[in-house]
Amino acid sequence: MRQARIHWILLLGALAGCTPLTARQAQRRESGAPIARGPDATPTVRVEDLVADAHSLPDSQRLIVETALAALHASSHFLDCSGFVQQVFQAAGVPLPRTVREQWRCGLPIDAPGLRPGDLVFFAFGRRTADHVGIYAGRGHVVHVSSSSAGVQLAPLESAVFAGAWVGARRVLVHSGTPRT
């Protein structure tokens, strides 16, 4: 079932005109090299540890985290950050709006210390309001689609890229199959 969801997400990305990984990106992902690295190029977290942590989550949160992490090894890009987030949540049976602005309005606000895997995390890189979204994967890391065409990435929230761009986080609560806003 999970493989079917991943294939569905990849198909949607391909139909939307997403470009494939570069040869270097594909080689790095196929080698099994850790994606998230600290400033000294040492791994900051193992994907397997995040997946293991997800097993203790409620079903919808577990599916969100597992689907997002499975996309790290995908061979194609997604639409953009909010399209990726929407597709991951949809694959877990949780409907979510399409744009960063609309996603920012969903769920309940969460402070950084209260983050749980599956929460939406928002950043502002060029505006005063949120213009980038990712999925908190746990252990201080976020799964997101980079606007630099690097595809789905796992990155530490404390990285230089995210450090000054934090806007906030939201927890989308599922009640009777629909997100609570």
Q: What is the CATH number for 100?
A: 3.90.1720.10
Dihedral sign of CA atoms 154, 157, 162, 166 in order: positive
Domain that holds residue 172: 2-17+35-180
Our CA angle for 93, 146, 89, nearest 5°, is: 5
On whether residue 24 sits in a domain, the answer given is no
Does a structural domain hold residue 108?
A: yes
Of 174, 152, 166, 176, nearest in space to 89 by CA? 174
48-57: long-range pairs with CB below 8 Å, 24+: 49/139, 50/117, 50/137, 50/138, 50/139, 50/141, 50/154, 53/117, 53/138, 53/139, 54/117, 54/138, 57/116, 57/117, 57/118
DSSP one-letter code for 12: H
pLDDT digits (tens, 9 = 90+) for 22-53: 333 333 333 343 344 444 434 479 999 999 99
pTM for the predicted model, two decimal places:
0.73
In a domain, 150, yes or no: yes
Is the residue at 101 inside a domain? yes
- pLDDT tens figures, 144-167: 988 656 788 899 999 988 988 999
Give me the number of domains the chain comprises: 1
CB-CB neighbours of 103 under 10 Å:
23
Q: Is residue 30 part of a domain?
A: no
Average pLDDT over residues 120-128: 91
Residue 118 belongs to a domain: yes
E-state strands within the chain: 108-110, 120-123, 132-138, 141-145, 152-156, 166-171, 173-175, 178-180
Whether 176 shows a pLDDT value over 80: the answer reads no
In this structure, is residue 26 part of a structural domain? no
Residue 67 counted as domain residue: yes
